[in-house]
Amino acid sequence: DTEVTQTPKHLVMGMTNKKSLKCEQHMGHRAMYWYKQKAKKPPELMFVYSYEKLSINESVPSRFSPECPNSSLLNLHLHALQPEDSALYLCASSRGGTYNSPLHFGNGTRLTVT
Amino acid sequence: DQQVKQNSPSLSVQEGRISILNCDYTNSMFDYFLWYKKYPAEGPTFLISISSIKDKNEDGRFTVFLNKSAKHLSLHIVPSQPGDSAVYFCAASYNAGNMLTFGGGTRLMVKP
C-alpha cells in the first residue's frame, strides 16, 4: 500500500468540464508534487509545493491549477482540458527542506479527456 | 537535452541470475541519485538511493553503484525474481532540490 493516496483512480471528463484531483499524505512531509506521465515516458514535473507554498511551476498551462490547502493535502483543479492532456497524473511527497530525501508517489489518477 | 539517460529500453534475465540496469547522466551538478520501480497502473515505488559522496549503497538484493568520473550509475539485483519484472527509472537531483530528473526507463523481464 502506498502512503500517498490519490483520488479518483480514474477520471473521464469532457473538454468543457471542471474537475479536481486530490492527494493526501500523512508522513509529515513538507514538499508535495504533481507529475504527469504519458505512456512509455518518464514522469514529468508539473508543480512543487514546499511548506504549503508553490515553489516550482514548470510552465504548466493555466487550465491546470494546483492548490495546497494544508501540509497533508494537494489538489489539482482541471478546467477546459484538451484530449492531449489525457495521461496518468501522479502526486508525490518528500521530507522537503535541505535534506536529500526520496519522493514517495501515489498510484496516480488515470485521466481521459474526451 | 536529456540529462539522465537509460540507453537500454528493455532487459531480459533468467530467474536467480543478476540483473544490471544502467543509467548515464550529463549534469555534473547532480549529487543525489535514485532508482524507482514501476508496475503498470501504479505509481513509481522508491527502491534505493545514493549520495554523490558514496560509490555504493546496498539494501538487500539491491545495490546501486555510482561512478562519478564516468557519470554513470547502475542498479544490481541479485538474485532476480519474477516479481522484479517492471519498468525501472533512474532519477537525479542536486542541492537537496525538489526537482527530480528521470531517465526514460528500462523494462526488466525476469523469466522463471
Contact: A94, B98; criterion CB under 8 Å: yes
Contact B84, B17 (CB under 8 A): no
Handedness of CA B3, A64, A75, A51 (dihedral sign): positive
Q: Are A5 and A24 in contact (CB under 8 A)?
A: yes
Taking an 8 Å cut-off on Cβ atoms, the answer to whether B43 and A106 are in contact is: yes
Question: What tens digit of pLDDT does each residue of A68-86 get?
Answer: 999 999 999 999 999 999 9
User: Which residues in chain B are closer than 8 Å to A103, comparing Cβ atoms?
Assistant: 34, 46, 100
In this prediction, residue B94 carries a pLDDT of 87
pLDDT in tens, A23-80: 999 999 999 999 999 988 999 999 999 999 999 888 999 999 999 999 999 999 999 9
Distance from CA of B5 to the nearest CA of A (A): 11
The verdict on a CB contact (< 8 Å) between A90 and B99 is no
Nearest to A51 by CA among A6, A18, A98: A98
- Listing DSSP states for A10-22 in one string gives EEEE-TT-EEEEE
Show residues of chain A in contact with B45, CB under 8 Å: 2, 105
The answer to whether residues B44 and B103 touch, using CB atoms and an 8 Å cutoff, is no
Element (DSSP H or E) covering residue B78: none
At A2 the pLDDT is 62
Residues of chain B below pLDDT 50: none
Nearest to A90 by CA among A53, A54, A59, A48: A48
Query: What pLDDT is attached to residue A72?
Result: 95
Dump the DSSP string for B13-26. Answer: EETTS-EEEEEEE-
- Nearest-by-Cβ selection for A56 from B51, B89, B99: B99
Hunting for cell 522537503 — which residue is that? A96
Cα B72 to chain centroid, rounded: 10
Mutant choice from A3, A44, A103 vs B, greatest count of B C-beta within 10 A: A103
**For B88, nearest residue in chain A (alpha carbons):** A42
Q: Indicate the helix (H) or strand (E) that contains A34.
A: strand A31-37
pLDDT band at A100 (very low <50, low <70, confident <90, very high): confident
Q: CB–CB of B93 and A100 under 8 A?
A: yes
Q: Do A100 and B42 touch (CB under 8 A)?
A: no
Query: Nearest to residue A51, comparing CAs of A94, A82, A88, A22?
Result: A94
C-alpha cell at B6: 537509460
Contact across the interface for B43 and A48, Cβ inside 8 Å: no
Mean pLDDT of chain A, nearest integer: 93
DSSP B111: E
pLDDT digits (tens, 9 = 90+) for B62-94: 999 999 999 999 999 999 999 999 999 999 998
By C-alpha distance, the chain B residue nearest A98 is B96
CA–CA separation, B105 vs A40, rounded Å? 8
C-alpha cell at A101: 530525501
